[in-house]
Amino acid sequence: MIRSLLLAALWTATAAGQDLNCDMSGYKAQDGLKAQMQAGALELTWQGERREQLRASFVIHGGQPAVQELAARKTGGSWIVLGQNLTPEFEITSGVRRLSEQQMAPLRDLKVQFTPEVVEKEKWNAFWDAPLVVPGRPGTNLGLPRKPDEIRRTWAKFNATSCQVKTDGARIEVVFPGFEAGVFSGSLQYTVYRGTNLVRQEAVAKTNEPSVAYKYVSGLKGFTITDATRVVWRDTARGWQYYAFGGAVNRDPVGLQARNRLGILEANGGSLAFLPPSHKFFWSREVETNLGYVYYRKDGANTFSIGARQPDREIGAKPWGISDEVWNRRVGEARGDLNNFALYNAPPGTMQRMAVYFYLSPEDSHVTQQQVMAFTHDDVYKPLPGYKVLVSHFHFHFNEQLTDAGTVDLEPTWLSVFRQLGINMAILADFHSDSHPSDTGTLRLNEQKVYFEGCQRFSDRDMLLIPGEEPDANFGGHYMFVFPKPLFFTHVKAPAKGPEGQPFEENLSPYGKVYHTTTAPTELNLLKQENGLVWQTHPRTKGSAGYPDAVREKDFFRSDRFLGGSFQSLPVDLSQKRLCEVRCLGLLDDMNNWTGPKYMVAEGDTYMKYPDDETFPQLVVNYVKLSQVPTFDDGWTPVLAAMRAGDYFVTSGEVLLRNSGIEGSGSKRTFNAEAEWTFPPEFAELVWSDGDKVDRQVIGLSDKAPFSAQKFRVPFDATGKKWVRFAVWDSAGNGAFTQPIHLK
């Protein structure tokens, strides 16, 4: 212990005595946000959310950037030191990105030749990939089996000799060059924001190697263990837990299954919270099992580390069933530990931003927890007057679950998850891999009856369960059907037919009107006759690879019954500023250039949920313009009408659009919107197209405060423009966007 203390004292003295060479030419002093050289260190001081004073100082020691101190104080109070002599740590684990067989199947049907160019393009949209699972499940990906030497696991090294300090609006960025970790190289960056207690630590790095998929661990090491030192967190049942570092030294980071992805260090009467970005940190999965996204690691008798992490593999769903056959089918369906843990994309040359947040507070851990949770509204989709929250596309096998139980009064676990999140309306998707989706007789119709009864049973004045379906029969790729009321129908894929003489429409006791579709024209006829909507699920990836591009000229796509496509944060590329920037938003713009109004519907496309899952960060939702939730018995025509009119916006939850629209006529018009946000905002944008080229006006928001709102009035020349849309994105990568408005 004496030797460790002497070494720490020597390190501190050496670091403090070493002058840090920083380029301050990009820095501009302002009230509540200051950078200065102090005793050879770079010291940042800034004002927090409740006028707290916050401080972070940095040095370089032998090429290693270090955090000399993190401290906080209340106005007029004494400084509370939350950590000293801390070293940033990053571990990057990389593997090989492969094209999935699920993507290849629809492309083969479209006669696409798998040239190197096609593979290179399509592999970056892979969902069914697990680069760290060796050798991999046969038949899931191109080029299997995986080999152990494909996986490279490296802790970062630094060779910094200087830093750059830059003011950007109401924030200060500090950059240390000389970051190296395996196939990645770049810089280390710290950002502090006036008006919030956050410090963002991130590696900004790229690789020039092909086909890289990766994950990262990021934190700070060197915290001192004292009798009062504890890491605290809430467990998955929201009970408070703690660890006081009285145990053995850890070899690896200890992943905490912390509720809300949040750990908090108690230090000297204050607190230091640590957490990952609330949405961009998470790649798409089929279940939201809490895998432990924050960690501690006891490194020695007197020191420890904390930070954020992604584990190596999935933990499979907890299935339900009444027989070995059913149980095994449901387990096999969601065995993501074998073939679905896709990691982040790192196309060659893209600057990946691998972030972790620290939150400095002079308060105790319970107060700090409440303060941090305000960034995600306590992981609730905040109620917004005049709007109701809609989610879609969940394969819960609801009718099977009720049949298994032998009662329609079984309270499903996923329902409490939705209620806790603040969701008002949910479109389910039974008859996917469950039940008998292709049956054309009473077997399927009886299952539909149970499905409808279950949705009716658990709908109430604040929650509407809408029985949708993903039929995937004759339109190409995967797509969602939803009707304004319960509707009995069957479907088969052409050229297969139903029983001889089965009509398109019939009255059949005890179901009433029943439809039978066998071709794309009959599916479209059904949608038109019953005022249904359809949209392409997971477009341009998974089982919809190549769609809706391949059917853009078809009458069903050009029909007003074809709403557009689904929005899901897949893939995740940390070089992009927006969620699903290329695949989703790129398709939204393309569709509106091809034809009339088409929209994106935020969807989950996930399976069972439990209250101890970590669902919020892996879900994007729709705020639909409705004054109340329709009742099940009255039908949900108002929901579909609002969707068809584009009267909704898509959001991750941290950014909300209270209202939006266009005023004026002729060439001189103005887009009006009122937005609110929690994290420090990044930019707003008005996006438009002439029907061919997409362009945009970007409005920087880095000078705006967190936890605030703004009314936007963006004048634009409508001459030659076909449509416009509006979006706001924050500094953590969260955002909200409107649907395109077509101009007359």
Q: State the SS3 of 293-362.
A: CEEEEECCCCEEEEEEECCCCCCCCCCCCCCHHHHHHHHHHCCHHHHCCCCEEECCCCCEEEEEEEEEEC
Q: Determine the topology of domain 2-93+153-375 in CATH.
A: Beta-galactosidase; Chain A, domain 5 (2.70.98)
Check pLDDT > 80 for residue 652: yes
Instruction: Report residue 146 as tokens.
Output: 């995986």
Q: For residue 461, give the amino acid letter.
A: R
> What mean pLDDT do residues 154-170 have?
97
Continuous segment of H or E residues that includes residue 15? helix 2-17
Instruction: Report residue 472 as tokens.
Output: 């995937």
> What mean pLDDT do residues 290-295 have?
97
Continuous segment of H or E residues that includes residue 677? strand 668-677
The SS3 of residue 73 is strand
Cα gap 264→369, rounded to integer Å:
8
Per-residue pLDDT tens over the stretch 625-635: 999 999 999 99
E strand spans, 184-325: 184-193, 198-206, 212-224, 230-234, 240-243, 254-256, 263-267, 270-275, 294-298, 303-309
- For the chain, counts of helices (H) and of strands (E): 13, 42
The whole-number pLDDT of residue 471 equals: 95
Cα gap 203→90, rounded to integer Å:
8
For the chain, the average pLDDT equals 94
- For residue 203, the tally of other CB atoms under 10 A from its CB is 25
The model carries a pTM of: 0.95
The whole-number pLDDT of residue 332 equals: 65
- For residue 328, the tally of other CB atoms under 10 A from its CB is 12
Q: At what angle do helices 398-405 and 442-458 cross, to 10 degrees?
A: 90
Residue in 273, 302, 307 with CA at minimum distance from that of residue 292: 307
Residue in 700, 694, 693 with CA at minimum distance from that of residue 728: 700
Residue 80: pLDDT band with limits 50, 70, 90: very high
Query: Do residues 343 and 215 make contact, with C-beta atoms less than 8 angstroms apart?
Result: yes
> What mean pLDDT do residues 520-525 have?
98
The SS3 of residue 271 is strand
Cα gap 265→230, rounded to integer Å:
6
Q: Are strands 230-234 and 240-243 parallel, antiparallel or unpaired?
A: antiparallel
Query: Do residues 111 and 245 make contact, with C-beta atoms less than 8 angstroms apart?
Result: no
Q: Is 569 left (phi over 0), alpha (psi -120 to 50) or beta?
A: beta
Backbone phi, then psi, for 26, in 5-degree steps? -95, 5
The whole-number pLDDT of residue 504 equals: 96
The whole-number pLDDT of residue 433 equals: 86
Altogether, the residues listed in the chain come to a count of 744
Q: Are strands 735-738 and 723-730 parallel, antiparallel or unpaired?
A: antiparallel
Residue in 359, 422, 349 with CA at minimum distance from that of residue 387: 422
Sheet of strand 488-491, all strands in order from the earlier edge strand to the far edge: 488-491, 512-517, 505-508
Cα gap 97→341, rounded to integer Å:
11
Which of 18-32, 321-335, 427-441, 602-616 has the lowest average pLDDT?
A: 321-335
Which residue matches tokens 């509370």?
80
Instruction: Report residue 94 as tokens.
Output: 């990389």
Cα gap 567→590, rounded to integer Å:
14
> What mean pLDDT do residues 694-720 have?
98
- % of the chain with per-residue pLDDT over 70: 94
The whole-number pLDDT of residue 330 equals: 67
Check pLDDT > 50 for residue 266: yes
Residue in 701, 600, 680 with CA at minimum distance from that of residue 648: 600
Check pLDDT > 50 for residue 29: yes
Residue 8: pLDDT band with limits 50, 70, 90: very low
Cα gap 42→57, rounded to integer Å:
5
Residue in 403, 480, 412 with CA at minimum distance from that of residue 443: 403
The SS3 of residue 153 is strand
Identify the architecture of domain 654-744 in CATH: Sandwich (2.60)
Q: Are strands 198-206 and 212-224 parallel, antiparallel or unpaired?
A: unpaired
Continuous segment of H or E residues that includes residue 563? strand 562-567
Residue in 333, 342, 325, 356 with CA at minimum distance from that of residue 283: 342
Cα gap 487→510, rounded to integer Å:
13
Check pLDDT > 90 for residue 329: no
